[in-house]
Amino acid sequence: METTIVTLLTDFGTADHYVAVVKGVILQRAPQVQIVDISHQVPRHDIPAGAYLLAQVMPYFPAGTIHLAVVDPGVGSDRRLLAGRWGEQIILAPDNGLVSFVHEDYPLQELYEITDPELFLPSPSSTFHGRDQLAPTAAYLVRGGALSSVGPAREQPLILHQARPQHEHRNLVGQILYIDVFGDLVTNLRQEWFEPAARYTVQVGDHPIGPLQRTFTDVSPQALVAYLGSSRRLEVARNQGSAAEYLGAEVGDAIQVLRQD
Protein backbone atom coordinates (compact mmCIF):
# COMPACT_ATOMS: atom_id res chain seq x y z
CA MET A 1 0.00 0.00 0.00
CA GLU A 2 1.47 3.36 -1.01
CA THR A 3 1.41 6.25 1.42
CA THR A 4 3.15 9.59 1.77
CA ILE A 5 2.73 10.20 5.52
CA VAL A 6 4.95 8.90 8.31
CA THR A 7 4.48 10.20 11.85
CA LEU A 8 7.15 10.10 14.54
CA LEU A 9 6.56 9.69 18.27
CA THR A 10 9.59 9.33 20.55
CA ASP A 11 11.10 10.14 23.92
CA PHE A 12 14.32 11.35 22.23
CA GLY A 13 13.83 15.06 22.91
CA THR A 14 15.13 17.61 20.42
CA ALA A 15 18.50 18.59 21.92
CA ASP A 16 20.38 15.73 20.27
CA HIS A 17 20.66 14.35 16.74
CA TYR A 18 18.45 11.29 17.20
CA VAL A 19 15.22 12.59 15.66
CA ALA A 20 17.06 14.13 12.71
CA VAL A 21 18.86 10.94 11.76
CA VAL A 22 15.64 8.90 11.91
CA LYS A 23 14.10 11.41 9.52
CA GLY A 24 17.24 11.33 7.36
CA VAL A 25 17.08 7.56 6.93
CA ILE A 26 13.43 7.74 5.88
CA LEU A 27 14.01 10.65 3.48
CA GLN A 28 17.12 9.05 1.97
CA ARG A 29 15.15 5.97 1.01
CA ALA A 30 11.73 7.54 0.37
CA PRO A 31 12.24 11.22 -0.52
CA GLN A 32 8.58 11.67 -1.43
CA VAL A 33 7.42 11.10 2.15
CA GLN A 34 5.72 13.69 4.34
CA ILE A 35 6.96 13.37 7.94
CA VAL A 36 4.78 14.64 10.78
CA ASP A 37 6.10 14.96 14.33
CA ILE A 38 3.60 13.87 16.97
CA SER A 39 5.96 14.52 19.89
CA HIS A 40 9.54 13.91 20.91
CA GLN A 41 8.93 15.02 24.49
CA VAL A 42 7.36 11.82 25.81
CA PRO A 43 8.75 11.46 29.34
CA ARG A 44 11.82 9.26 29.09
CA HIS A 45 10.99 5.55 29.06
CA ASP A 46 7.31 6.30 29.85
CA ILE A 47 5.54 3.67 27.76
CA PRO A 48 1.99 4.43 29.04
CA ALA A 49 2.41 8.12 28.13
CA GLY A 50 3.58 7.17 24.64
CA ALA A 51 0.67 4.75 24.28
CA TYR A 52 -1.79 7.48 25.26
CA LEU A 53 -0.37 10.01 22.78
CA LEU A 54 -0.33 7.48 19.95
CA ALA A 55 -3.99 6.64 20.51
CA GLN A 56 -4.92 10.34 20.61
CA VAL A 57 -3.64 11.08 17.10
CA MET A 58 -4.95 8.01 15.30
CA PRO A 59 -8.47 9.34 14.56
CA TYR A 60 -7.09 12.41 12.79
CA PHE A 61 -4.80 10.85 10.19
CA PRO A 62 -5.87 9.42 6.84
CA ALA A 63 -5.93 5.79 5.87
CA GLY A 64 -2.49 4.48 4.98
CA THR A 65 -0.59 6.63 7.48
CA ILE A 66 2.44 4.93 9.04
CA HIS A 67 3.11 5.75 12.68
CA LEU A 68 6.69 5.11 13.83
CA ALA A 69 6.74 5.07 17.66
CA VAL A 70 9.88 4.65 19.75
CA VAL A 71 9.69 4.70 23.54
CA ASP A 72 11.96 1.77 24.13
CA PRO A 73 13.68 1.22 27.48
CA GLY A 74 14.25 -2.42 26.44
CA VAL A 75 16.18 -1.62 23.25
CA GLY A 76 18.73 -4.35 22.49
CA SER A 77 16.92 -6.95 24.59
CA ASP A 78 14.83 -9.83 23.27
CA ARG A 79 11.71 -7.67 22.96
CA ARG A 80 10.31 -7.75 19.42
CA LEU A 81 9.83 -5.01 16.85
CA LEU A 82 6.33 -5.09 15.41
CA ALA A 83 4.58 -3.85 12.28
CA GLY A 84 0.81 -3.97 12.47
CA ARG A 85 -2.28 -2.59 10.81
CA TRP A 86 -4.95 -1.28 13.15
CA GLY A 87 -8.00 -0.14 11.25
CA GLU A 88 -6.58 1.45 8.10
CA GLN A 89 -3.31 2.71 9.59
CA ILE A 90 0.05 1.07 10.28
CA ILE A 91 2.15 1.23 13.44
CA LEU A 92 5.84 0.34 13.69
CA ALA A 93 6.94 0.04 17.32
CA PRO A 94 8.74 -2.08 19.88
CA ASP A 95 6.51 -4.75 21.39
CA ASN A 96 6.41 -3.24 24.87
CA GLY A 97 2.85 -1.96 25.24
CA LEU A 98 3.04 1.18 23.08
CA VAL A 99 0.05 0.01 21.04
CA SER A 100 -2.11 -0.77 24.10
CA PHE A 101 -4.67 2.04 23.81
CA VAL A 102 -4.83 1.85 20.02
CA HIS A 103 -5.51 -1.87 20.44
CA GLU A 104 -8.53 -1.04 22.63
CA ASP A 105 -10.06 1.27 20.02
CA TYR A 106 -9.17 -0.20 16.63
CA PRO A 107 -9.47 -3.71 15.16
CA LEU A 108 -6.13 -5.42 14.58
CA GLN A 109 -6.10 -6.42 10.91
CA GLU A 110 -2.63 -7.98 10.65
CA LEU A 111 0.54 -8.12 12.73
CA TYR A 112 4.14 -9.07 11.91
CA GLU A 113 7.47 -9.14 13.67
CA ILE A 114 10.09 -7.07 11.86
CA THR A 115 12.99 -9.45 11.24
CA ASP A 116 14.08 -9.17 7.59
CA PRO A 117 17.71 -7.95 7.67
CA GLU A 118 17.46 -6.87 4.02
CA LEU A 119 15.33 -3.95 5.24
CA PHE A 120 17.81 -2.70 7.84
CA LEU A 121 20.79 -0.39 7.65
CA PRO A 122 24.14 -2.22 7.37
CA SER A 123 25.57 -3.36 10.74
CA PRO A 124 22.62 -2.15 12.83
CA SER A 125 23.37 -0.84 16.30
CA SER A 126 22.03 -2.70 19.33
CA THR A 127 20.94 0.61 20.90
CA PHE A 128 19.29 2.57 18.06
CA HIS A 129 16.67 0.38 16.44
CA GLY A 130 14.60 3.44 15.57
CA ARG A 131 17.27 4.55 13.12
CA ASP A 132 18.62 1.22 11.92
CA GLN A 133 15.53 -0.99 11.71
CA LEU A 134 12.25 0.90 12.12
CA ALA A 135 13.09 3.91 9.92
CA PRO A 136 14.19 1.84 6.90
CA THR A 137 11.15 -0.40 7.36
CA ALA A 138 8.93 2.68 7.26
CA ALA A 139 10.64 3.82 4.05
CA TYR A 140 10.15 0.37 2.53
CA LEU A 141 6.42 0.55 3.23
CA VAL A 142 6.21 4.10 1.86
CA ARG A 143 7.65 2.82 -1.40
CA GLY A 144 4.87 0.25 -1.62
CA GLY A 145 6.45 -2.73 0.13
CA ALA A 146 4.09 -5.33 1.55
CA LEU A 147 3.55 -5.32 5.29
CA SER A 148 3.50 -9.12 5.25
CA SER A 149 7.06 -9.25 3.93
CA VAL A 150 8.77 -7.59 6.92
CA GLY A 151 8.82 -10.85 8.92
CA PRO A 152 6.69 -13.66 10.37
CA ALA A 153 3.07 -13.16 11.35
CA ARG A 154 2.22 -12.73 15.03
CA GLU A 155 -1.14 -12.97 16.78
CA GLN A 156 -1.08 -10.39 19.56
CA PRO A 157 1.08 -7.51 20.80
CA LEU A 158 2.04 -7.03 24.42
CA ILE A 159 -0.68 -5.03 26.19
CA LEU A 160 -0.17 -2.89 29.29
CA HIS A 161 -2.15 -4.03 32.30
CA GLN A 162 -3.24 -0.67 33.61
CA ALA A 163 -5.64 -0.55 36.54
CA ARG A 164 -9.15 -0.70 35.13
CA PRO A 165 -11.79 1.82 36.22
CA GLN A 166 -14.23 0.42 38.75
CA HIS A 167 -17.95 0.95 39.27
CA GLU A 168 -18.91 1.24 42.94
CA HIS A 169 -22.70 1.42 43.07
CA ARG A 170 -23.34 4.41 40.78
CA ASN A 171 -19.91 5.96 41.31
CA LEU A 172 -16.72 5.60 39.26
CA VAL A 173 -13.19 5.08 40.53
CA GLY A 174 -10.30 5.61 38.12
CA GLN A 175 -6.78 6.99 38.01
CA ILE A 176 -4.68 9.68 36.36
CA LEU A 177 -3.40 8.35 33.06
CA TYR A 178 -1.41 11.29 31.69
CA ILE A 179 -0.39 14.84 32.64
CA ASP A 180 -0.05 17.27 29.74
CA VAL A 181 2.15 20.34 29.35
CA PHE A 182 -0.49 22.57 30.96
CA GLY A 183 -0.58 20.41 34.08
CA ASP A 184 -4.02 19.05 33.15
CA LEU A 185 -4.80 15.59 34.51
CA VAL A 186 -6.15 13.13 31.94
CA THR A 187 -7.85 10.10 33.47
CA ASN A 188 -8.75 6.60 32.33
CA LEU A 189 -12.48 7.38 32.70
CA ARG A 190 -13.99 7.57 29.23
CA GLN A 191 -16.66 10.03 28.15
CA GLU A 192 -19.14 7.32 27.21
CA TRP A 193 -19.35 6.20 30.86
CA PHE A 194 -21.04 9.49 31.83
CA GLU A 195 -24.76 9.91 31.29
CA PRO A 196 -25.49 13.31 29.68
CA ALA A 197 -28.34 14.24 32.03
CA ALA A 198 -26.71 13.01 35.24
CA ARG A 199 -24.92 15.21 37.80
CA TYR A 200 -21.45 14.29 39.05
CA THR A 201 -18.85 15.61 41.45
CA VAL A 202 -15.16 14.77 41.18
CA GLN A 203 -12.42 14.17 43.70
CA VAL A 204 -8.67 13.62 43.14
CA GLY A 205 -7.26 11.67 46.07
CA ASP A 206 -8.51 13.59 49.12
CA HIS A 207 -9.00 16.83 47.19
CA PRO A 208 -12.58 17.74 46.16
CA ILE A 209 -12.68 19.32 42.70
CA GLY A 210 -16.39 20.08 42.45
CA PRO A 211 -19.17 19.34 40.00
CA LEU A 212 -18.50 18.27 36.44
CA GLN A 213 -18.32 21.36 34.20
CA ARG A 214 -18.29 22.02 30.46
CA THR A 215 -15.07 24.03 30.06
CA PHE A 216 -12.34 25.97 31.92
CA THR A 217 -14.17 29.28 32.07
CA ASP A 218 -17.09 27.75 33.97
CA VAL A 219 -14.92 28.43 37.04
CA SER A 220 -12.93 31.49 38.13
CA PRO A 221 -9.20 31.88 37.34
CA GLN A 222 -6.96 29.57 39.40
CA ALA A 223 -9.93 27.40 40.40
CA LEU A 224 -9.94 23.67 39.76
CA VAL A 225 -12.34 22.27 37.18
CA ALA A 226 -13.36 18.76 36.09
CA TYR A 227 -14.71 18.31 32.57
CA LEU A 228 -14.95 15.86 29.68
CA GLY A 229 -12.00 16.98 27.57
CA SER A 230 -10.85 16.78 23.97
CA SER A 231 -9.27 13.42 24.87
CA ARG A 232 -12.85 12.16 25.31
CA ARG A 233 -11.91 11.29 28.87
CA LEU A 234 -12.51 12.94 32.22
CA GLU A 235 -9.87 15.61 32.80
CA VAL A 236 -9.05 17.91 35.71
CA ALA A 237 -7.45 21.32 35.17
CA ARG A 238 -6.75 24.56 36.99
CA ASN A 239 -8.10 27.52 35.05
CA GLN A 240 -4.96 29.41 33.92
CA GLY A 241 -2.78 27.27 36.15
CA SER A 242 -1.42 23.75 36.67
CA ALA A 243 -3.68 21.24 38.40
CA ALA A 244 -0.76 18.82 38.71
CA GLU A 245 1.41 21.32 40.60
CA TYR A 246 -1.42 22.63 42.76
CA LEU A 247 -2.58 19.16 43.81
CA GLY A 248 0.85 17.50 43.80
CA ALA A 249 -0.80 14.93 41.53
CA GLU A 250 1.05 12.16 39.73
CA VAL A 251 0.20 9.54 37.12
CA GLY A 252 -1.51 6.64 38.86
CA ASP A 253 -3.21 8.73 41.56
CA ALA A 254 -6.82 7.81 42.23
CA ILE A 255 -9.79 9.83 41.04
CA GLN A 256 -13.39 9.41 42.18
CA VAL A 257 -16.56 10.44 40.41
CA LEU A 258 -19.62 10.58 42.63
CA ARG A 259 -23.08 10.60 41.04
CA GLN A 260 -25.37 13.12 42.73
CA ASP A 261 -28.85 12.21 41.45
CATH of the domain at 190: 2.40.30.90
**What average pLDDT does the segment 10-33 reach?**
97
Last residue of a domain, one of 120, 149, 178: 149
Is the distance from CB of 72 to CB of 129 less than 8 angstroms?
yes
* Same domain membership, residue 102 and residue 27: yes
pLDDT tens per residue, range 43-63: 999 999 999 999 999 999 999
**What average pLDDT does the segment 217-232 reach?**
96
Last residue of a domain, one of 122, 149, 176: 149
pLDDT tens per residue, range 67-99: 999 999 999 899 999 999 999 999 999 999 999
Q: What pLDDT is stored for residue 1 in this prediction?
A: 45
3-state secondary structure of 107: coil
**What average pLDDT does the segment 92-112 reach?**
96
Q: Which residues pair with 203 in a beta bridge?
A: 208, 256
On whether residue 160 sits in a domain, the answer given is no
* Same domain membership, residue 105 and residue 206: no
Provide CB contacts within 8 A for 207, sequence distance 6+: 224, 247
* Same domain membership, residue 191 and residue 137: no
* Same domain membership, residue 177 and residue 91: no
On whether residue 229 sits in a domain, the answer given is yes
* Same domain membership, residue 115 and residue 41: yes
Distance CA 76, CA 150 (A): 19
On whether residue 74 sits in a domain, the answer given is yes
Share of the chain above pLDDT 70, in %: 98
Q: What is the pTM of this model?
A: 0.92
3-state secondary structure of 33: coil
Q: What's the domain range around 181?
A: 166-259
Element holding 93 (H helix, E strand): strand 89-94
Last residue of a domain, one of 81, 114, 149: 149
The structural domain count of the chain equals: 2
